[in-house]
Amino acid sequence: ILELTFSFWCFLRFDEIKEGDVVRHDGKRSDGYLEHIFKHAAKELFGMDVKEITYKALKNKDFQEVTLEKDGETVLRFAAAYGFRNIQNMVLKLKKGKFLYHFVEVLACPGGCLNGKGQAQTEDGKPDKALLNKMEEVYAAIPVKLPETNVHVQKMYQDWLEGMDSKKVQETLHTKYSAVNQTASNLDIKW
């Protein structure tokens, strides 16, 4: 589903989009994939409808956790890590085998994409909080529509991807990872 939004926009030509066709995923800002994936996973894996999620700030406001409990046991543990400091800490925990998360949403900019260097800043490079708030309001006003119920996404699957479970879907929207042998180099970054 993560890939659907990107593929959806690549599939449509901008001159074909009408005002009512613009939709967004769950979440209140540009960093809302975690919310959408969390709700979808809760429903698909555990049969639980999650209406609202609660973020718990851990070491700072840019590293937050979301959990789902069922029968007193934590069954889903997601995190949002924004900014290079938090990303670096996340990589260190991964290397040490102390990483507890099923899904992590990673954004390079502290505060998320809308707070990034090319976004809501004054000419002197300081955050423009009024502009940031306005951008969040405009984004939140766009209707939420699940990708699986979107007629354009369904058309993309039918016409371009040759069906929901086709080989083309697997090749286009999925990836596989395998271990890479590390070579010693002066350019290696030691996090």
Summarize pLDDT for 109-159 with one digit per residue, the tens: 776 665 555 566 777 877 777 887 887 788 778 787 777 777 777 888 888
Write phi, then psi, for 58 (nearest 5 degrees). -100, -105
Kindly state the percentage of the chain with pLDDT values over 70: 71
How does pLDDT run across 4-14, given as a tens digit for each residue? 444 444 444 44
Q: Map out the domains of the chain with their CATH numbers.
A: 23-112 (3.40.950.10), 144-174 (no CATH)
Q: How far apart are CA 115 and CA 106, in angstroms?
A: 14
- Give the model's pLDDT for residue 8: 43
CA dihedral sign, ordered 50, 54, 56, 61? positive
From 152, 162, 106, select the one nearest 5 (Cα to Cα).
Answer: 152
- If pLDDT is split at 50, 70 and 90, which confidence band does 183 have? low
**DSSP code of 16?**
G
- Give the model's pLDDT for residue 45: 94
How does pLDDT run across 73-103, given as a tens digit for each residue? 999 999 988 888 888 888 888 888 888 899 9
Residue scoring higher pLDDT (27 or 122): 122
Tell me the pLDDT of the chain averaged across its residues.
Answer: 77
Write phi, then psi, for 93 (nearest 5 degrees). -65, -40
Residue scoring higher pLDDT (48 or 177): 48
